[in-house]
Structure 1
Amino acid sequence: MVASGSKRSRRARAPIPAPSSPPPPPAPPAPQSPPQLTSLLALLASSVTLALRFASDRDLLLLPSQTLALDPLLLSAARAVSRLLPAFFQLLHALDLPAPAASSSSLALPADHKLGAALFRLAHAAPARAVARRFGLPSPAVAARAFYEVCRAIADRLAMLLDLAAPDRIARAVPGFCALSLPNCCGALGYARFGEAAIAQALVDADGRFLDVSIGWDPEMAPAEILPRTKLYTSQSIVLANAPQGELIGGSVPRYFLGPACCPLLPWLVTPYKHGNATDDLLSKESIFNHVHAHGLQVVKSAFGHVRARWRLLEECWKGECQEALPYVVVAGCLLHNFLIKCGEPMPEEIQGNADADEFVDFEGEKDKEGERIRDVLAAHLSLVSRNQ
């Protein structure tokens, strides 16, 4: 779900000319188009290469302390540029941003310049006026419009990275969760608040890739109210249909998703045992299951944390009309997260976000009998495995 805004049409008034008006002053010269960002990146790569060669050729002319200080900086810059260039060009090609329209001189910017400015604002939470000044754009309004244009293009062009029903998408997720001692699991479901404007629901695989994202929900809604209204809820039967059963000692287990305690226990969504039902014995099957479940559910929390750490703008306070654009920006951040994983870009070392803000009240509704059976089979399996280790 992505929120959409509405626009009010306004009737323009025709200006009444003065009886004897002086000739209009000459129009100011149009701002010069900034240089292509691709050429600047190529120059940057060339400069780093030349700097490395210079330092290597003149190693004997530098003091040891100078060499020790210079070499790590140049090597770090070389590695950063070597990672940046391929990913940037792949993203630019994938988005296929439209050419500047003849009637829209305010956005007559090169596609790579729009993309560079948008990524800078998203990564550094830079205000539109700072982006306009840094990238030589005509005005903050142009910078803001270019930013949202790129976010829309990302949501449209990279949407296939969130296609949960794509062939083998679920099958590829199963081995990762098996490595976490969760047989036949194919995704972890979680929720996060972005500012005070919206709640996001996301399904991720064991590697932190987003499989499904739904955002734009009222921050006052509980996850148990959000889940039945999402596409994931209505399509899960198709996504998980005809999947092989996992045969465990205590019985068979279909493919399922991990769910947090704020969601209902369902045959396809396995939530943890409530603390009141699990004994204080750390070796009980309920305690063992809850421990493994929490470890598996951490992948979705980490995915949200990495998105927030990489795209700082998502942590800003969004007010007024900007709140309507927030869902598109969050989806763009998640899609770019998947794109960078696909390109082999390492995850940010830090994880950003307020864990307390993402906590929700536990679900207190009725229990599903088949869901209880599946959870009990998994708990018995994990208890047996832990005893044999």
Structure 2
Amino acid sequence: MFAVKALILAWLQIILIYLRRSIEATNSFWLRVVKRRRTRHSSWALHDIHQQPQRVHRSSRARARARWIALAGIRVPRRYWVYPRSNDWWDNFVTAIWDDELWIQNFRMARSTFNELVACIGPRLARQDTRLRRAIPVEKRVAIAIWYLANCYHYRGCMNQFGVGLSTVAGIVLEVCFAIKAELLSKLVCLGQDVAKIMAGFQQLGFPHCIGAVDGTHIAICQFKGRGHEYSNRKKFNSILIQGTVDHTGRFIDVEVGWSGRNHDAFVFANSAICEAMDAGAFVPGNPCLTLEGVAVPPLIISDAAYPMRRWLMKPYGTPSTPAERHFNKCLTRSRNVVEHAFGRLKGRWRCLRSCLLVAEENVTSIAVACVVLHNLCEQKGHGYVEDDAPLQQVQLTEDQPSVPVWPRRHLEQGKVVRDVLARHMLSQVQHQ
């Protein structure tokens, strides 16, 4: 009995396969016939007295056949499984012909630096080949992301340049930025062990016992649905803040990214990790102090007048009235220029930060952090900054400034004591020379 049932089922399967093959063959035949008729009718319609193409309406029989095909579940074969694109520019020009000068102009780094970057983050980006298609090489993946960050291209421009799909470009850019943040952020954006060299560099600029200069900049972002008011800043556009602390060469030793542009710089700084670490004396290894007139001066960070005063955070005098105060403001301004120049080189190298970042809210921080990490990599390798013909847009502040938060008075008093002692010491050093 079971053998009879199995035989019947086998014959039914054979009959179903035969019927399906017959339907597919019939469908293919009628598709060729319809295509031939459409071509003939289109050629006739083009020869009317007005020389204008006429729309050829499908007959009721053709519409019925199309509905029957749709109900039968027969798939029309694709013309392409993967749309053909050209890889000639990347394969034959960039990798084979370009020298280091062209690499620095277009990718902001030499080819040797690019290869080191690929070797570092490559394990996170490698993909396996499948039976359907070959995976995009790791070198090309990193190049697509660097090209997007450096040349202010949208995803569509990268798609045409590298010969990949639009969604593929979007995914690759984010994957590379995530890998850079995970692998290199803690290694490249840090104070390091050579604190004496940094202090000596700021000493040459005119400010003693200093380990960094802090400032912030706005990065324009698109308006997120239903949350545009949360990122609207006093400059009348949506943005996030990048707070950076740099050494005497313009290399970032700390970065804070992700705060809304409507927040005050002082508020962002007071809630940052570097502020907490400096208050605890844990940011600088050993926390070396300089004793002046019986006052212990810890390692210092310099800023502009927008930041809150602390015993380790120096900002200029509001209205200098003595020679020591005027000399202090002059030296602080000259030394603090390194952070402004660093932000200028950061946005000049990675031009995606100069325009509006058209990415999702959760991806803005990773792209900005990746740009900071790559900036430090280029500075460490000694790659010169290539000036751009298009200058940065100067944004004027509006009159309605946000209110500055009120900080504990003890921080202000301690900072003033250290600043006064340091101002007298700096003036005496100049007078003795």
TM normalised by structure 2 equals 0.69
Aligned residue for 2:329, secondary structure, equals helix
Is 1:146 paired with 2:149?
no
Aligned residue for 1:121, secondary structure, equals helix
Pairing partner for 1:43 from 88, 93, 96: 96
Partner of 2:263: 221
Taking the aligned partners of 2:135 and 2:169, their CA distance within structure 1 comes to: 12
Pairing partner for 2:250 from 208, 215, 223: 208
Q: Go from structure 1 to structure 2 and tell me whether the alpha carbon gap of 1:291 and 1:104 turns closer, same or farther (over 3 Å shift).
A: farther
Q: Go from structure 1 to structure 2 and tell me whether the alpha carbon gap of 1:228 and 1:102 turns closer, same or farther (over 3 Å shift).
A: farther
Taking the aligned partners of 2:145 and 2:103, their CA distance within structure 1 comes to: 23
Taking the aligned partners of 1:369 and 1:273, their CA distance within structure 2 comes to: 14
Cα distance per residue 1:7-58 (max 9 Å; x no partner): xxxxxxxxxx96523344146232568479587545215xx7xxxxxxxxxx
Is 1:92 paired with 2:118?
yes
- Is the Cα–Cα contact under 8 Å of residues 197 and 318 in structure 1 kept in the other structure? no
Q: Go from structure 1 to structure 2 and tell me whether the alpha carbon gap of 1:142 and 1:256 turns closer, same or farther (over 3 Å shift).
A: same
Identity %: 24
What amino acid sits opposite 2:97 in the alignment? Answer: L
Taking the aligned partners of 2:134 and 2:368, their CA distance within structure 1 comes to: 23
Partner of 1:375: 419
Within-5 A mapping of 1:1-389: 19-26=71-78, 28-31=80-83, 34=87, 41-45=94-98, 84-96=110-122, 97-100=124-127, 108-137=135-164, 139-164=165-190, 166=192, 168-195=193-220, 196-236=238-278, 237-240=281-284, 242-248=286-292, 251-275=295-319, 278-279=320-321, 284-318=323-357, 322-349=360-387, 352=392, 354=394, 356=396, 365=406, 366=409, 368-389=412-433
How many residues in Structure 1 have an aligned counterpart in Structure 2? 337
- Is the Cα–Cα contact under 8 Å of residues 208 and 303 in structure 1 kept in the other structure? yes
Partner of 2:66: none
- Is the Cα–Cα contact under 8 Å of residues 258 and 269 in structure 1 kept in the other structure? yes
Q: What stretches of structure 1 of length at least 5 have no aligned partner? A: 1-16, 49-74
Cα distance per residue 1:352-383 (max 9 Å; x no partner): 46364699879574452221111111111222
Aligned residue for 1:188, secondary structure, equals strand
Taking the aligned partners of 1:271 and 1:154, their CA distance within structure 2 comes to: 34
Aligned residue for 1:239, secondary structure, equals coil
Aligned residue for 1:198, secondary structure, equals strand
Q: Go from structure 1 to structure 2 and tell me whether the alpha carbon gap of 1:165 and 1:337 turns closer, same or farther (over 3 Å shift).
A: closer
Taking the aligned partners of 1:293 and 1:370, their CA distance within structure 2 comes to: 18
Cα distance per residue 1:136-155 (max 9 Å; x no partner): 00x22211111111111111
Q: Go from structure 1 to structure 2 and tell me whether the alpha carbon gap of 1:344 and 1:28 turns closer, same or farther (over 3 Å shift).
A: same
- Is the Cα–Cα contact under 8 Å of residues 103 and 111 in structure 2 kept in the other structure? no
Which is bigger in relative contact order (C-alpha 8 A, separation at least 6)?
1
Superposition RMSD on alpha carbons, in Å? 3.4
Taking the aligned partners of 2:134 and 2:363, their CA distance within structure 1 comes to: 19
